[in-house]
Structure 1
């Protein structure tokens, strides 16, 4: 299952929902797609649509999704990361009147460069290929066992073990 979430920002993000619906209609996406569409007005014909979802519904959908596609709002893609997913992040853009400025584009670029744990899609035309190549792309990202948290914990464990051996 693919979960698409556009958050709760009051500006439309029809561009993303319409593209996902098109990919399902054309058969490029063959699995079930669940969309949390917020204030968007595009009515997808090939996806399960939810204006808003309760906290528990969102958590369950993040957990169960194979792929999460989200806007560039940090809380949405951090939520996916907390469930061990490498989200495809399609930032809202000022040029399409999806936000008041391009801060989502800037933040997405920053996280992609510094953390390498998201898959940014700046051109909506690239979304189909990104979904198709998802499993290959994920292998190049920091996630799960290769995450910074795991490395930090492993390094800390080595330090503590070393200190304990010194005390003996």
Structure 2
């Protein structure tokens, strides 16, 4: 058995449900993860508070290194919408994004979830890599459709956001 002092040097992030007090740390993390769109600190606090059961925070030695904000769609309880994924440079390459997605899906709040959805701009390579990997793990191809369009939704100030849908593997859907 390892001595507790030795465990402090282990580089495995701890995943947990966020608290409202985590909002400022989440805001700082998102700001450090370009090109992510920044929300207000208040928005991140509300996400941590009101949507805590479908969001996840990753900590490594007391530092917030990962965050996913998500919610079950109010008009479609079979769908978990992933709003934002942020992973600090200190925690990249560990598969943390995939691990955080799986953590959320295993919670009681996602019991009826059968698919995840997110939106991704064409140039967000990190998000494409994460969701392609997650799709492969589910044995599911990505269904990709332009959704929030540059001209009609963003007044040409933001790239089109493509809606990505990934059906969950039957075993994961049943476990959730």
TM-score interval for Structure 1 and Structure 2 normalised by the shorter chain: 0.3 to 0.5
The structure with the larger Rg is 1
Structure number with higher helix proportion: 1
Structure number with higher strand proportion: 2
Q: Which has the higher contact order (CA 8 A, sep 6+)?
A: 1
Q: Under a length normalisation based on structure 2, what TM-score does the superposition of the two structures give?
A: 0.35
